[in-house]
Amino acid sequence: MIKILTVFVLLTASLQSYGQSAESYSKNGTSKAEKGDYTGAIADFTKAIELNPKDANAYVNRGIAKFNLKEKDGACLDWSKAGELGDADAYDLIKKYCN
C-alpha cells in the first residue's frame, strides 16, 4: 500500500512539473503583447491570474492589453484590482486613462 501511494505521489508531482507556471504565462503574455497579439496576451495573463490571483503585475499587463483593444472598462477594472493588490503605479494608469 505504501509503495502504491509513493508511486502515485511521484507521478502526480512529475505531471505537475510539466504544467506552466503563472510566471511563464505572464512571460508568454508579455511576448504576445509586444508582437501586437493582444487577444493572445489577455488569454495568457488570464491564465496567470487563475494560477496566482495575487499577481498584480499580471492584472496591470492584462489591463494594458485590453486598453490596446479599446476595452477601456475592462482595462480600468484590471488596473483597479492591481492597485488593490499593492501596485501603486496602477493608480497612475487609472488617473491617466480611466477618468
Q: What is the pLDDT along the chain (99 residues), one digit of tens a residue?
A: 444 433 333 333 333 434 789 999 999 999 999 999 999 999 999 999 999 999 999 999 999 999 999 999 999 999 999 999 999 999 999 999 998
Q: Of 50, 1, 44, 51, whose CA–CA distance to 21 is shortest?
A: 51
SS3 53: coil
What pLDDT does 15 receive?
A: 35
Q: Which CATH number fits domain 22-97: 1.10.760.10, 3.10.20.90, 1.25.40.10, 3.30.9.10?
A: 1.25.40.10
Question: For residue 19, what pLDDT is reported?
Answer: 73
Please report the pLDDT score of residue 99 as a whole number.
84
Task: Evaluate if pTM is beyond 0.85.
Answer: no
Q: Where are the domains of the chain?
A: 22-97
Q: What is the pLDDT of residue 1?
A: 47
Q: What residue type is 89 in one-letter code?
A: D
Q: What is the pLDDT of residue 68?
A: 98
